Amino acid sequence: MKKTFYVTTPIYYPNDVPHLGHAYTTIAADVLARWNKLHGNEVFFLTGTDEHGKKLANTAEKAGKKPKEFIDELIPEFKSAWKKLNIEYDRFIRTTDKDHEKIVQQILQKCYDSGDIYKGEYEGLYCVACEAYYTEKDAPDLICPIHEKPLEKLKEESYFFRLSKYQDFLLDLYKKNPDFISPKNRRKEITNRVKEELRDFSISRTSFDWGIPLPFDKKHIAFVWFDALLNYYSATQSSEKLKKFWPADVHIIGKDIIWFHTVYWPAMLKSAGLSLPKKVFAHGWWTINSKKMGKSAGNALKIDQLISIAGADSARYFLLREASFGDDGNFSEEMLIERHNNELANKLGNLISRVSTLAEKYSLQEKKGVALLPEKLKIQIGEHMENLEFDKALHIIIKFIDQTNEYLQDKKPWETHDSNVLYESANAIKDIAILLWPFMPETSERISKTFNFNISLEQLNAPLKISKIKKSEILFKKI
Ligand code: MSP
């Protein structure tokens, strides 16, 4: 039976066009989805937009539009950005989708019925940019630590979710499922915070109406995070054939939203009697001059700008190669160009161009039992992919490209015209292209056309079939 694999990105606030930070998570999810497809798994890859809440209502108002009207204009920007980056998601969910709204109300009702929701009054601090509550302990100077903007003071009637009740449950969950919070260092951080204090959180607002009404008290609308997190569940309930994907294998998120995903989210699910996701992986931030890249900081690189540097596949490659997935990375155009030139144009591009040119002239000859790529390396790559260590997986592939280039340098088939050597190199190219496909699908597909193989696991494990090969077009232009 086929294994199922369900991967998600956060749903992004469509208050502006998407930027490199959003692309990072979405590319990573696409890479994992493709890696799983390559392995014959049945994949559901979900992304989308988080459309309710104060932040969106304010932004739309400033633009002189109704929230839905304002957002509808931005959705094509997200969809076309993902298309340009070669991202193949299965559903783009919007929290204004009717099927989602219905599920949110159902779950709210379930939590209410289980006694986990009660009415009270919220008095405290709020950051609209985060759509999050703060205490004076988290923000003693009343400034949001992430957005560096003054916090709003709120005082209003509100329903609360009994998070405090779930302290033991959460600690037990982290202990029994060490990968639930990944990477490791984040688990310690969250565990300590949960041990320290777990307060009930406010889940409804009455001072504006852009949201989903609580089913048991319609003058309240659901707190945007309660609504948003449920997208991961509601997307699997919209048709019978999607139900089997629940719960998610991995929620990929940025470290800014780890508390919501590893504390609120499992407690909400437990309260509603639903099963829990297997893993939440929080990656680091892309910074520019040590400042988090984003709309609020005014330093965001838009998707078109990112692609214009060296193309979509080079951008995908760079983002996953440059920084370890759990750590921050400093973005620079120079570094992207350097990796594009040195690793993609010089190493990979030259290998393809050299071997395809010679293969067109001298043809290949099959040599039995030869594979340049050791089994051990394939296993290591698989382990790194399992752990979302994309940089390490790419490192091994690039090293293998180096070895293949060295092998050619050593055997000099352009002097010897040795068709066995050419065959071995073409075989190595097949393996490289298949392993690189999740990262650079367009490039790999071009290579597969030149050397006439399919991108599949069977082809990775089988020798290349001899065929007529034509010189490849240039894959990466040096910049
Ligand atoms: N709408 C919420 C998420 C709800 S999920 C149930 C949200 N949206 S957001 O538009 O602010 O996007 C946040 C996500 O974008 C981060 O978690 C991260 O995945 C990505 N990034 C945004 N800026 C980023 C960087 N500078 N660097 C890396 N990723 C960042 O929060």
Residue 106's DSSP bridge partners are: none
- Could you give the domains of the chain? 4-283 (3.40.50.620), 333-460 (1.10.730.10)
- Quote the DSSP letter at residue 293: -
Return d(Cα 418, Cα 410) in angstroms, integer.
Answer: 12
Give me the pLDDT at residue 369, please: 57
Residue 111 among the catalytic residues: no
Q: Which of 278, 303, 299 is nearest to 289 (CA)?
A: 299
Give me the pLDDT at residue 41, please: 97
Give me the pLDDT at residue 371, please: 67
Q: Find the residues whose C-beta lies inside 6 A of ligand 1.
A: 10-13, 21-22, 24-25, 50, 228-229, 231, 253-254, 256-257, 285-286, 292-294
Q: Determine the atom of ligand 1 nearest the C-alpha atom of 229.
A: 6
In one letter, which amino acid is 40?
G
Give me the sign of the Cα torsion angle 237, 240, 242, 246: positive
Residue of 52, 127, 283, 347 marked active site: 127
Q: Whose CA is nearest to atom 22 of ligand 1?
A: 21
Q: Which of 214, 247, 251, 248 is nearest to 101 (CA)?
A: 214
- From ligand 1's centre to the CA of 337, what distance in Å? 25
CA distances from 432 to 106, 228, 310, 338, 401 (A): 48, 39, 21, 21, 7
Task: Dig out the tokens for 40 from the structure.
Answer: 């014959």
Task: Dig out the tokens for 168 from the structure.
Answer: 């033991």
In one letter, which amino acid is 387?
N
Residue 292 among the catalytic residues: yes
Q: With both helix axes pointing from N to C terminus, report the angle between 441-451 and 419-436 in degrees, rounded to the nearest 10.
A: 150
Torsion of CA 406, 407, 412, 418, to 10 degrees: -160
Residue 39 among the catalytic residues: no
Question: What residue ranges of the chain have pLDDT lower than 70?
Answer: 1, 368-371
Percent of the chain that is helix, strand, coil (3-state, to 5) = 50, 15, 35
- CB contact at 8 A, 441 and 83: no
Which of 47, 50, 131 to probe ligand 1 with, by most ligand atoms within 8 A of CB? Answer: 50
Return d(Cα 240, Cα 231) in angstroms, integer.
Answer: 17
- Quote the DSSP letter at residue 173: H
In one letter, which amino acid is 156?
E
Residue 340 among the catalytic residues: no
Torsion of CA 200, 206, 212, 216, to 10 degrees: 70
HSE-up (13 A, CA, CB side) for residue 406: 7
CA distances from 332 to 171, 174, 282, 336, 442 (A): 39, 36, 22, 7, 24
Could you tell me how far CA 469 lies from the centroid of its own chain?
A: 36
pLDDT (tens digit, 9 = 90+) per residue, 93-132?
Answer: 999 999 999 999 999 999 999 999 999 998 889 998 888 8
Residue 100 among the catalytic residues: no
Task: Dig out the tokens for 275 from the structure.
Answer: 């099963």
